[in-house]
Amino acid sequence: MHKALCATPLALTIFSLPIAAFADEAEVVVTATRQPTRAKELIADVTVVGREQIEQSGAATLSELLSRQPGIEFSRAGGRGAPENVFIRGTNAGHTLVLVDGLRVGSVTLGQTALEQIPLSQIERIEVVRGPSSALYGPDAIGGVIQIFTRRGAAAPPVSLSAGYGTHNTYETVLSITGNADRLFYNFNLGASGSKGINTVSNTSSSAFNPDNDGFRNRNGSAHIAYRFDTHHEAGLDYFRSAGESKYDSAWPSALSDWRSHKTVSGASAYLRNRFLPSWTSTLRLGNGTDASRTTPSLTAGLEDDSFKTRQRQISWQNDVNLPIGQALLALERVRQDVDSTSAFTANQRTINSALLGWSGRIENHRVQANVRRDRNSQFGDKTTSMLGYGYQFSDVLRGSLSYANAFKAPTFNDLYFPNTPFVGVGNPNLRPESARNREAALHYEDNRQQASLIYFRNDVDNLIQWEETFPGSWFYTPRNVGTARIDGWTMAYRRNVGNWDVHANYNRQNPRDMGTDKLLVSRARQFGTIGASTGRDGWRAGAEIKLSGARYDDPANTRRLGGYALFNLFGEHRIAKDWSAFGRVDNLFDRHYALVRSSTTEYAVLGRTLFVGIRFEPK
């Protein structure tokens, strides 16, 4: 175990911090119930990260920011622009459902979202729900849900601009325009970023080693337009697009080949929200989420590139009804998923029709949330999921909760239909969905001085899908349902203000284990956490953060150990004029060497010490 992550000292550190003022008791969360609900009324385990926190965090990418929140780990095969994964409570990367402005975005061939293509500059707010949420959102939400709200700028200046530059010729620029004309409200954002990068493969013994820099570049934009007919009726449009290109190293056909990955993540939707009666609000939303990737050169002889494009056409009609006690939720949804690829899939389309019911309410000190959902998938039939949660307010500052939920993940198009390809593999159309059962108990303490939470969870995941080599040395893989994983553990989180200081910490201890082999799941640590503090006065704000992780393994047999690590980061901001401020961050201040991803022959490099500085224009 890494010396920096001894459980007892870290836990003592978290719960021995000085006391002071904290907390916005009126904070409202949508994702945990699909209805606006005060955070203090929730049963689910939720984290909210707002725009101000994003800017003050000093994080460079979305996954880095998420990994500093309770219960979330992160991996990346190289520098910025390389594929990123997050693991919520020890579940697989594909067990997290990602929504952007209420839309599903992601690849239905890979079964996950390209988080590295969603820049922080386009995000207004992030809501993270830890724990299975299929009873609200359907397939994929075995580990939890990450919902990203793009920038709205309701209270923002009409024009804002930021630009920065750092180590490895890294740059980022963002322009935001916000305004309104009578009942019309609008917000437009444009951004660009890039870097010369680092050499992705660090060991010269690897057949993929190429002593070049593997950089990236990205162009992104978002828009929100809303028209309010009156206080009860509104129509709007949301749009988001991020397109990037990154270089990487591969052994085939030669390590000197110029490998490039082009990825685009986008979403567009229109909505109509109407309050027809004092007790009834209807929301109709139509949208399309797209994930496109293109890799050059191609792995297939005779082709210039390999391309995969996912389209998810979505329509939902949600009805929120106020009852004498609590609020009811009734919704219908339809998702059509299409795949367009240079690979000849035997099936390239499926539909999912869904109906869900819910109720949440409070009776004196008792809180209850109940949800049930039925999904009809054209590939494998019907699936019913449910959630039942109970909470009790012991006092004004102490509340507890218990919950049970089940969830599932549909096999991906690669899992089911990947074409028979020599030295790669073939899909298996007989696969069953992965399913999960989660039990959870929580205690929350909240007063005007501090917040603390202690959460126990156990998630049993059945019918895990794993690609396996048909026989050693064949280089031909096929997927099958292999067994069960059990993930149980504890999460502790704490936050408070100390005069001008804001102090936060979380500690996570878990046992993410394959029950068939009694081995730890790949890339997941038994314990990890974050400790941070920031302060500000007289136009200055500065902070520091320590991110810690225990050891992990990069193979199912647990023979290749990745050591634990501790990273120290600094960030700061100074208002240099009325509308101008300068900011900067230093990541991995002590230039620690560590590893996030490795294979049997290849070691993937990580960024060492990096510096990034910039300037921001925000009229007051």
Structural contact between residues 438 and 389, judged by C-beta atoms closer than 8 angstroms: no
Q: How far apart are CA 383 and CA 365, in angstroms?
A: 34
Q: Looking at residue 253, what DSSP letter applies? A: S
Closest CA to 386 of 368, 402, 374, 400: 374
**What are the structure tokens assigned to 16, written together?**
């021995």
pLDDT band, residue 476 (cuts 50/70/90): confident
DSSP letter at 525 equals -
What is the amino acid identity at position 245? Answer: E
Average pLDDT in the chain: 90
pLDDT of residue 154: 59
134-148, 248-262, 438-452, 529-543: the lowest-pLDDT one: 248-262
The answer, yes or no, to whether residue 13 has pLDDT greater than 50, is no
At 186-222, the pLDDT tens digits run 999 999 999 999 999 988 888 888 888 999 999 999 9
Q: What is the pLDDT of residues 109-167, one digit of tens each?
A: 999 999 999 999 999 999 999 999 999 999 999 999 999 999 886 555 789 999 999 99
Question: Would the pLDDT of 8 be above 70?
Answer: no
In DSSP terms, 465 is beta-bridged to 481
How far apart, in Å, are the Cα atoms of 162 and each of 144, 167, 194, 600? 33, 17, 15, 42
How would you label 332-355 residue by residue, b for 16+ Cβ within 10 Å and e otherwise? ebebbbbbebbbebeebebebebe
Q: Half-sphere exposure of 406 toward its Cβ, with a 13 Å CA cutoff?
A: 12
Least reliable range by pLDDT among 104-113, 248-257, 497-506: 248-257
Q: Rounded to an integer, what distance in angstroms lies between the CA atom of residue 77 and that of residue 255?
A: 17
- In sequence order, what are the beta bridge partners of 272? 235, 284
pLDDT at 10: 35
- Report how far residue 368's alpha carbon sits from residue 43's, in angstroms, rounded to the nearest whole number: 8
**DSSP bridge partners of 461:** 436, 485
The label of the residue with tokens 């939470």 reads 453
End-to-end CA distance of the chain: 49
Number of other CB atoms surrounding residue 438 within 10 Å: 26
If we measure between CA atoms, which residue out of 117, 119, 100, 423 comes closest to residue 261?
Answer: 117
325 burial (CB, 10 Å; 0-12 / 13-18 / 19+) is exposed
Report the distance separating Cα 619 and Cα 178, nearest Å.
12
Place of tokens 């294979």: 599
pLDDT reported for residue 26: 67
Q: To 10 degrees, the CA torsion angle through 118, 122, 126, 130?
A: 0
What number is the average pLDDT over the span 418-423? 84
Average pLDDT for 80-95: 94
d(CA 548, CA 525): 10
Distance of CA 159 to the CA centre of its chain: 28
| Angle subtended at Cα 247 by Cα 241 and Cα 248, rounded to the nearest 5 degrees | 125
Of 399, 387, 392, nearest to 359 by C-alpha is: 387
Question: Confidence class of residue 27 from pLDDT cuts 50, 70 and 90?
Answer: confident
For 74-78, 176-180, 296-300, which range has the lowest pLDDT when averaged over its residues? Answer: 296-300
Spatial distance between the Cα atoms of 258 and 250, rounded to a whole number of angstroms: 9
- In this predicted structure, the answer to whether residue 580 has a pLDDT above a threshold of 70 is yes
Average pLDDT over residues 290-314: 89
Cα torsion angle, 490, 496, 498, 503, sign: positive
Lowest pLDDT segment from 123-132, 204-213, 232-241, 583-592: 204-213
Residue 329 has pLDDT above 70, yes or no: yes
Separation CA 429–CA 133 (nearest Å): 26
* pLDDT value at 538 more than 70: yes
Q: pLDDT band for position 18 (50/70/90)?
A: very low
Backbone dihedral region for residue 89 (phi beyond 0: left; psi -120 to 50: alpha; all else: beta): left
Please, what sign has the CA dihedral across residues 534, 6, 93, 368? negative
Q: What pLDDT does 424 receive?
A: 81
**Could you give the CA distance from residue 60 to residue 168 in angstroms, rounded to a whole number?**
13
Please give the DSSP secondary-structure letter assigned to residue 117. G
Looking at residue 15, its pLDDT comes to: 32
Residue 449 pLDDT: 84
Chain centroid, CA 40 distance in Å: 23
Q: Which residue has the higher pLDDT, 506 or 153?
A: 506
Give the Cα separation of 446 and 395 in Å (integer).
10
Contacts of 170 (CB under 8 A, 6+ apart): 80, 193, 194, 195, 196, 610, 612
pLDDT for residue 19: 30
* Position 3 confidence tier, pLDDT thresholds 50, 70, 90: very low
Mean pLDDT value across residues 576-605? 92
Assign 3-class secondary structure to 452-514: EEEEEEEEEEECCEEEEECCCCCCCEEEEECCCEEEEEEEEEEEEEECCEEEEEEEEEEEEEE
Domains of the chain: 3-617 (2.40.170.20)
- pLDDT for the residue numbered 17: 33
Q: What is the DSSP letter of 141?
A: T
